[in-house]
Structure 1
Amino acid sequence: MNSMTKSLSITIIDDDQSVRESLLDLLEVFGYSVRIFASAYEFLESSAIPETNCLLLDISMPGMGGVDLNLELKRREIEIPVVFMTGHAQDAVINEAKKAGTCLFKPFASKELRSAIELAVNP
């Protein structure tokens, strides 16, 4: 584990509690500092934005999905590397996500997740 991994703060935003908890456990094993949120709105109202080095965003969530959250952050001139996650193959939404970052399809391997995060923060 390199020193950069330890300094990264990853924020997970997913409406599925089991996904949030399993990713939290996995990313902490990798040595990342991790925060979790159940919705995009919860994240936007938090103090975690300036401390986030990479976002793991579920594409499909009630209310504001991952792509919309990413657009809102850009509108606010907040640049955070993003890794999108989805369990649903919606071509139009996935294409939008891929324009803004990496898109992983659930379920994905831990190695694939780690590579996507490293690529997002070190393009």
Structure 2
Amino acid sequence: MSVASVISVLDDDPYVRAAINNLLESRGYNVHTFASAEEFLSSTDSSDTSCVIADVQMPLMSGIDLLTQMRAQGSATPFIFITAFPDDGVRVRALNAGAICFLGKPFAASDLMQCLDRALAPDHQTTS
């Protein structure tokens, strides 16, 4: 029996966190939700995360800043970014920083699941 992947969802909007949590749990994933990057970093759950789904714009530390910090610390955890402001410049920054996907809100559940499948694949590749 395989162990379900642990997905960490970071978004300052509680409704977005709940919606993504419900979607992923319905697909068999273990989900941990966080209201901020700081909450995620201070959690013991951050070390066993298989993938991070993070909002780009959060108070204090942005999702891209979190990714940059984690990469500097040697983490290769895949990142999927979601944002209500899908600016091309931000998209390029996110993908250049190593994000697997960059989705504008609202997004289709199927798009998020495709990104997650790609992120959890052994040979994951970035895409927009």
Fold-level similarity (TM above 0.5): yes
How far did 1:91 drift? 2.6
TM-score (norm: length of structure 1): 0.92
Given residue 64 of structure 1, which amino acid in structure 2 is its aligned partner?
Answer: M
What is the alpha-carbon distance in structure 2 between the residues aligned to residue 87 and residue 75 of structure 1?
27
Structure with the higher fraction of residues in helix conformation: 1
Q: Which residue of 2 aligns with 1:104?
A: 103
Percent identity of equivalent pairs = 35
Q: Over aligned residue pairs, what C-alpha RMSD do you find?
A: 1.3
Alignment of 1:70-85 (within 5 A): 70-85=67-82
After TM superposition, the score normalised by the length of structure 2 is 0.88
1:56 — aligned with what? Answer: 53
1:32-91 deviation per Cα after TM superposition (whole angstroms, max 9, x unaligned): 000000000000001012210000010011110110000010111111001110110333
Aligned to 1:13: 10
Structure 2 partner of 1:36? 33
Question: What is the match of residue 44 of structure 2?
Answer: 47
Shift in Å, 1:121: 1.5
User: Aligned residue pairs: how many?
Assistant: 120
Q: Tell me, which stretches of 5 or more residues in structure 2 are unaligned?
A: none
DSSP 3-state at the match of 2:44? coil
